[in-house]
Amino acid sequence: MNRRRIIMDVDTGSDDAVALMLACKSPELKLEAVTVGWGNRPVEDCVRNTLKVLHLVGRDDIPVYQGCPEAMVRYLNGKFVSSCHVVVDGVEHSIHPASFNIPAPDRGPEPQHAVSFLVEYLMKQSEKITVVSVGPPTNLGMAFRLQPAIKEHIEEVVFMGGSINRGNETPVAEANFCHDPEAAKIIIDSGVRCTLITLNATHSAEVTREDIEKFERLGTPEGRFTAELISIRLDAQVYLGFGDGKSDALHDALAIAYLVDPKVITDMRKLHCDIDIGRGAAYGMVIADQRGNARYEEINSQVSFNASRQKFVNMLLERFAGTDR
């Protein structure tokens, strides 16, 4: 099998964890390294959670690199405040736990900074690598700023990022792109092939409370942990005002599912996209030209609008069932 080589750039919270497990359990993919940035939690928490997830699936061999602790520009004039956590009666409710309740490995991150690793590793590759960015794209944006030539060594950048005519961090902006719009714009404007797994697609393939039992019944570490993470997300979203606690998207995992089987995305469109960095009400919004008159050379992105919930959930259940792959 010709395995697709990937590097994942994460801010490991609950959906990143499922994405990491899916990447490790999919023979179609070869996960060569994980870079970690800020986002769902401070970067130190995200690194610790990343190491725990890789340990859970028996992949302590995959190197982990700690990266940027904050955005390139966005929060220079004000402190970042996460919308994923709330404290009620002294108890924190979060869709992204600060520390996963699974064993920690006897190792830490590599000594090299994530950004310098990305530049050095990509520049020496003769075969192109896919980079999967499922957090604020600060590490990758900084790598492009340091060495734009890395684009010649990247097959594709697959984002879990962006949205069309909706938002979750603001009325019009998705959280990952909203938290570092300048980094997202640097990458999309670079000329590298970009695919956006948007909120539109991820919310069309939500997992439900009924799915929790299906994952628990697998009886595997991956299955039980996924069930726990879904439960955490659904319980927390009620306190956060995100939903009714019946279903939610595992956003980042859909980006990996797309690489395993592109048919999981049922509506993918080639468009010209830009990112608003004007610091106004649309700051961080994806501006997708859907007029249909863009010249071929103007198209810079594939944008997902819809996904198959059945294919997605079945893929997770199959890969986490515990058969050797």
Task: Give catalytic residue positions.
Answer: 251
In angstroms, the CA 149 to CA 169 distance is 32
How many Cα atoms occupy the beta-carbon half-sphere of 127 within 13 Å? Answer: 5
- DSSP annotation of 41 reads S
Q: Give yes or no for a contact between 115 and 142, defined as CB atoms under 8 angstroms apart.
A: yes
Q: Give, as one character, the DSSP assignment of residue 108.
A: -
Q: Which amino acid is at 212?
A: I
CA dist 247 and 45 (Å) reads 26
Q: What angle do CA 218, 205, 261 make, to 5 degrees?
A: 75
Burial class of residue 83 in the structure, from the number of CB atoms within 10 Å of its CB (0-12 exposed, 13-18 middle, 19+ buried)? middle
Residue 31, token pair as written in the block: 């996960």
In degrees rounded to 5, what are phi and psi of residue 262?
-55, -20
Do the Cβ atoms of 194 and 157 come closer than 8 Å? Answer: yes
CA–CA distance from 26 to each of 19, 64, 134, 259 (Å)? Answer: 11, 19, 18, 10
Number of neighbouring beta carbons within 10 Å of residue 199: 25
Q: How far is CA 197 from the centre of its chain?
A: 9
Answer yes or no: are the C-beta atoms of 12 and 36 closer than 8 Å: yes
Measure Cα distances from 82 to 95, 196, 206 in Å: 11, 23, 22
Distance CA 255, CA 93 (A): 26
